[in-house]
Amino acid sequence: MARLGPEWRGRVPPELAEGHKRQLEEIAKIPKLGIGVQGARIFGCPDCQISLEHQDIVFPLGSVPALPLPGCDRSPCCGCCYGPVLEGWKLK
């Protein structure tokens, strides 16, 4: 589950935080369909340095960082989202 870091509590619109939570919940359901999941990654904005630094990292589902990422200058609506990384997929 995504958790909001203390620096963002009360600043992220509730619907955005709920959307991030649902994205991770949906990714966690994929293995039940018989599809292997390596983890999750962050899809960010092309002009956001913070998200670009995290785009090639595959995070285990239990330790995906909360969005917006610390240092994001677009908070509270940064535009990042989560996506699954399936078994056998290479990011580059």
* pTM of the entire predicted model: 0.74
Q: pLDDT band at residue 51, thresholds of 50, 70 and 90? A: confident
Examine residue 4 and state whether it is found in any structural domain, yes or no. no
- The per-residue pLDDT for 22 is 92
Whether the per-residue pLDDT at 78 is higher than 90: the answer is: no
Q: Taking a C-beta distance cutoff of 8 angstroms, is the pair 44, 55 a contact? A: yes
Residue 26 counted as domain residue: yes
As for how many domains the chain has, the answer is 1
Residue 29 belongs to some domain of the structure: yes
Indicate whether 9 belongs to any domain: no
Close Cβ partners of 36 (under 8 Å, ≥ 6 residues apart): 86, 87, 88
Residue 54 parent element (H or E): helix 49-54
Q: Is residue 54 part of a domain?
A: yes
Give domain status of residue 44, yes or no.
yes
pLDDT, tens digit, 9 for 90 and up, residues 4-50: 556 655 566 777 778 888 999 999 999 999 999 999 999 988 778 88
Nearest to 20 by CA among 38, 35, 4: 4
Query: Is residue 3 assigned to a domain?
Result: no
> Domain containing 78: what range?
14-86
Which pLDDT score is estimated for 1? 39
pLDDT confidence of residue 3: 52
pLDDT average, residue stretch 54-64: 91
- Give me the pLDDT at residue 27, please: 94
